[in-house]
Amino acid sequence: MMSSRKLLEQLVAFNTTSRESNLALIDFVRRYLTGLGVECELIHNAERSKANLYARLGPSGSGGVMLSGHSDVVPVDGQNWSVPPFVLTEREGKLYGRGTADMKGFIACMLAAVPYFLTQPLAQPLHLAISYDEEVGCLGVRTLLDALSQRPEKPDICLIGEPTELQPVLGHKGKLGVRCEVQGAACHSAYAPQGVNAIEYAAKLIQKLTVIGQRLAAPEHQDARFDPPFTTVQTGVIQGGRALNIVPAECTFDFEVRTLPQDDAQEVAEELEHYAQRELLPQMHAVNSDAAIRFYPISGYPGLYTAAQSAAARLLAHLTGSSAFSTVAFGTEGGLFHQAGIPSVVCGPGSMAQGHKADEFITVEQLDACDALLRRLAIWMCQKA
């Protein structure tokens, strides 16, 4: 039987940066589980370069609890690491390596707990899920959920093991990322009125986004359970222009909307598109009929807020010993599970304060505490009728 510490060492050694394949890690997990007598199912992407892993153990039938984590990690490029990022290094009770906190630490604990679950007289099934491409828009888990949607035997609860220092979390914001391409018309800057300045029209669109964001931040739209307590809108990338003496014909910018669970990010995108169609395009076409404004979705996932009175929340309170539920600023796959009819909560070892940065780490204490939490889950699953 492998400890969570040993399994984490193995998992960190796989470079599963989102731009890379995760198949080597998935094959390792598959061999580990099949060696314990647990059958696994792989759900590949279209190119078969990546895969989700799904497994279940315990009695047949619907219901039960799913433990879910993502296998991909963010890049280490340009970061100043003092240790090799894909080699687990222990210093003073801290385990360093890319993905230790986000979120291979939880996956290691999940896998280490399987032998214990197998010895217990479970009254309901345990489901295990490991996804790909969470870091680039929660892409991989969607095919896993598509597969589960075709089956009658679905879990009742999903525990997403993102790093919360094992504090019980019921919610997070949703996100929508959109690219806007403004096509203007170039000319010599000495004759600027004869052209359509794509940067200037992009600026008008960005200003409109600012106005929308200010409206959504008004007190009547706020929810104190979140930080910040309102839906945010921001432009993160902009590119355009070739030379100062040329009226720019192209400008592209990317914006994101991070919504409270009760808000709809698509409404922000639609309001901006309507503004472009009604206000800006007629002005542009008056100068050049080929001018255009186009919008393309980049990524997105729904927000999550599970009711504090739900069975999922009650289980999480039991496992953590706390009903002091909170929210997190980062997104998870939980909103997608919830949207698919599987109530979800978030709780895992480590802190996102260490995620996505050089010398990412998780403490040994957090791993041990997560091991204990999963043993409590196994006992609870035996007692439930």
* For residue 39, pLDDT beyond 60: yes
**Among 11, 227, 2, residue whose Cα is nearest residue 102:** 11
Are 366 and 161 contacting, i.e. CB atoms less than 8 angstroms apart? Answer: no
Return mean pLDDT, the chain. 96
Structure tokens at 95: 């385990």
Per-residue CA distances from 119 to 110, 115, 116, 181, 378 (Å): 15, 7, 5, 57, 10
* pLDDT tens per residue, range 55-85: 999 998 889 999 999 999 999 999 999 999 9
- Residue 382 is predicted with a pLDDT of 95
What span, in angstroms and rounded, lies between the C-alpha atoms of 257 and 237?
A: 14
- Residue 44 is predicted with a pLDDT of 97
Average pLDDT over residues 26-47: 97
Q: Among the options 133, 134, 135, 360, which is catalytic?
A: 134
Per-residue CA distances from 60 to 53, 144, 320 (Å): 19, 19, 27
* For residue 302, pLDDT beyond 70: yes
Query: Domains in the chain and their CATH numbers?
Result: 4-172+303-383 (3.40.630.10), 174-301 (3.30.70.360)
What span, in angstroms and rounded, lies between the C-alpha atoms of 160 and 175?
A: 18
Q: Report residue 384's pLDDT band, with 50, 70 and 90 as the boundaries.
A: low
Q: Report residue 383's pLDDT band, with 50, 70 and 90 as the boundaries.
A: confident
**Radius of gyration of the chain measured on its C-alpha atoms:** 24
- Residue 62 is predicted with a pLDDT of 86
* pLDDT tens per residue, range 171-222: 999 999 999 999 999 999 999 999 999 999 999 999 999 999 999 999 999 9
**DSSP at 140:** T
Structure tokens at 273: 């598109």
What span, in angstroms and rounded, lies between the C-alpha atoms of 83 and 73?
A: 17
**Among 101, 47, 65, residue whose Cα is nearest residue 362:** 101
Q: Among the options 9, 72, 263, 371, which is catalytic?
A: 72
DSSP lists the bridge partners of residue 363 as: 94
- Residue 152 is predicted with a pLDDT of 81
Q: How many CB atoms lie within 10 A of CB 210?
A: 13
What span, in angstroms and rounded, lies between the C-alpha atoms of 25 and 21?
A: 9
For residue 72, indicate whether it is catalytic.
Answer: yes
Q: DSSP string spanning 159-185?
A: EE---BTT--EEEE-EEEEEEEEEE-B
Residue 91 has phi, psi (to 5 degrees) of -140, 120
- Residue 385 is predicted with a pLDDT of 55
What span, in angstroms and rounded, lies between the C-alpha atoms of 78 and 76?
A: 6
Residue 312 has phi, psi (to 5 degrees) of -65, -45
On the question of a cis peptide bond just before residue 381, with omega within 30 degrees of 0, the verdict is no
pTM here is 0.91
What span, in angstroms and rounded, lies between the C-alpha atoms of 123 and 134?
A: 31
Classified as helix, coil or strand, 197 is: coil
What span, in angstroms and rounded, lies between the C-alpha atoms of 99 and 166?
A: 17
